[in-house]
């Protein structure tokens, strides 16, 4: 289990952390599936793990995610991004610097773990060996959720929030309704719950209708132009880091 600097070690968290550590010491593969822990002396395939929980709920597979808990890569990426954002602040107006500082605060609060790039779907794993990989040795977290009804928004805004997807609209329509005070008026980034990402036009000259899947993230980014060329790479790095968020 990953604990960030803001996490409180409640008795429940201490117990879960102890159980995870115990499993890791005695098994090749240990997996936390929501609040349940499973250990395997061998290296199970995905379908073997999902079979233990597939009857519990009507899971929304596109938003299911597997994380590797022993990797330090995402924390390194977080530090690099925050350092870069702090540097950018120095050249901005006070208003824009405040928004960037808000983004730094958001990223600092993220619960992160390295996401494993595989499709989580019980039926697909049963039918196709390519969708049924074998787990490597290590500790994992598998998050399964029922179908959500919203998408989360982060970026250059005063605070993160969610948007209701019951009113079916294109991505750019949702974003235009969020705020008139966007730093980047041309583009936003959509991070679908299955990990796919897309840079979407939100200006009147470049819009296209892109559906927002339940459980998605929408990133309102730094401005990108010939005067802000470095921002394009930084925006992409923030999007890649957001794919590793544990969003609940």
Which CATH fold would you assign to the domain 73-112+148-242?
Outer membrane lipoprotein wza fold like (3.10.560)
Residue 222 has pLDDT above 70, yes or no: yes
In degrees and rounded to multiples of 5, residue 195 shows phi and psi of 100, -10
Q: Decide if 186 contacts 203 (C-beta within 8 A).
A: yes
Distance CA(212)–CA(218), nearest Å, equals 9
Higher pLDDT, 54 or 77: 77
Q: Which is higher by pLDDT, 224 or 120?
A: 120
Range(s) of the chain covered by CATH 3.10.20: 11-71+114-143
- The residue with tokens 């954002």 is 85
How does pLDDT run across 184-221, given as a tens digit for each residue?
888 999 999 999 999 999 988 998 899 999 999 999 99
Q: Where in the chain is the domain with CATH 3.10.560.10?
A: 73-112+148-242
User: pLDDT-based confidence at 166, cuts 50/70/90?
Assistant: confident
Residue 7 has pLDDT above 80, yes or no: no
- pLDDT over 70 at 4, yes or no: no
Whether this model's pTM surpasses 0.75: yes
Closest CA to 194 of 168, 215, 210: 215
Query: Do 130 and 188 meet the contact criterion of CB atoms below 8 Å apart?
Result: no
Instruction: Identify the CATH class of 11-71+114-143.
Output: alpha beta
């Amino acid at each position: 289990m990953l604990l960030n600097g803001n996490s409180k070690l409640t008795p429940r968290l201490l117990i879960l952390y102890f159980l995870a550590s115990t499993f890791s010491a005695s098994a090749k593969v240990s997996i936390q599936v929501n609040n349940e822990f499973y250990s395997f002396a061998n290296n199970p395939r995905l379908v073997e793990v999902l079979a233990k929980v597939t009857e519990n709920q009507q899971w929304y597979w596109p938003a299911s995610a597997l994380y590797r808990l022993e990797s330090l890569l995402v924390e390194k990426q977080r530090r690099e991004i925050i350092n870069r954002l702090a540097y950018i602040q120095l050249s901005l107006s006070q208003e824009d610097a405040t928004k960037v500082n808000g983004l730094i605060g958001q990223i600092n609060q993220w619960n992160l773990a390295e996401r494993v790039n595989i499709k989580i779907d019980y039926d697909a794993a049963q039918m196709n060996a390519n969708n049924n990989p074998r787990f490597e040795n290590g500790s994992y977290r598998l998050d399964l959720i029922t179908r959500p009804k919203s998408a989360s928004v982060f970026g250059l805004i005063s605070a993160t929030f969610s948007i209701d997807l019951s009113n079916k609209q294109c991505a750019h329509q949702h974003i235009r309704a969020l705020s008139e005070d966007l730093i980047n008026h041309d583009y936003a980034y959509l991070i679908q719950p299955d990990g796919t990402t897309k840079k979407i036009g939100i200006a009147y000259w470049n819009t296209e209708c892109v559906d927002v899947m339940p459980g998605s993230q929408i990133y309102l980014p730094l401005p990108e132009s010939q005067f802000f060329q470095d921002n394009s790479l930084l925006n992409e790095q923030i999007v890649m880091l957001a794919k590793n968020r544990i969003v609940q």
